[in-house]
Amino acid sequence: MVTAGTSPTLSYELFQLKQRRADVHRMRLAFQLYAVGGALVGLVALALYFLRQLRVTLTTADVAILVTAGVGLATSVLSVLYLAVVRMRARASICNDNYVVAAADLLAEWMRFETGGRGRLQQAHVEFNPASVRDIVGHLYRLELISQDDRDTLGAALRLRNELVHGRSPADRRRIENMASMVRDITRRIQCVTPACQREQGTSVH
């Protein structure tokens, strides 16, 4: 989970993610309201059309009754629609919060991996580009601090992380949670495994 010591970069990325999720939700809600409102107007128009086709002569009292019934029906429909919108917004808020929490967890774990990977390479006195994630992953693999499966997982995690940060199609929340867990495990193993060069030196001494 993300702690209180969240970096400015991570905070900004999470802010952007929340804004994009909120914009998508508002747009979806607006189109749903347009759809219901359009259907209501269409039904009223059809009812008036059929009344004209029947050539029914309405008295003033009849018109008043129909107007009252129409207002009552519209009020009822709008009330039901409002309650449905409130419920949908509550559900969307919960889903959005869970999604953002999962995304924040993955982004935080990825930053921990980058920091831990740089630290291990510096301890091994390896020359590398600290700004290049792919260079870090490549050197960790060559030092046998990570396996090929770990390397593939990190590649998938990097792509998913970029999808979240740059606002591409939203990913499944469970996929994000699973990826965060795998990155966390890899980061822990990096801290425990001895680099291949040090193992070879130890073997040659014996």
Q: What is the pLDDT of residue 16?
A: 65
How many angstroms separate the first and last alpha carbons of the chain?
44
- Measured CA to CA, the distance from residue 143 to residue 118 in angstroms comes to 13
Q: Are 168 and 139 in contact (CB under 8 A)?
A: no
The amino acid present at 194, given as its one-letter code, is: T
Place of tokens 């994630």: 133
Long-range Cβ contact pairs of 175-181 (< 8 A, separation 24 or more) = 176/99, 176/102, 176/103, 176/105, 176/106, 177/102, 177/105, 177/106, 179/106, 179/153, 180/102, 180/105, 180/106, 180/109
What is the three-class DSSP state of 95?
helix
Distance CA 127, CA 42 (A): 70
pTM: 0.57
Structure confidence at residue 113 (pLDDT): 94
pLDDT in tens, the chain (206 residues): 444 444 566 666 666 666 666 666 677 777 767 776 777 777 777 777 776 777 767 678 777 777 777 777 777 777 777 767 766 665 655 556 778 788 888 988 999 999 999 999 999 899 999 989 999 999 999 999 999 999 999 999 999 988 887 766 667 888 999 999 999 999 999 988 776 556 555 555 44
Question: CA angle, 161 as apex, 138 and 140 as ends, to 5°?
Answer: 15
Name 37's Cβ contacts closer than 8 Å, sequence gap at least 6.
Answer: none
The C-alpha atoms of residue 200 and residue 144 are separated, in whole angstroms, by 12
Q: Where are the domains of the chain?
A: 8-205
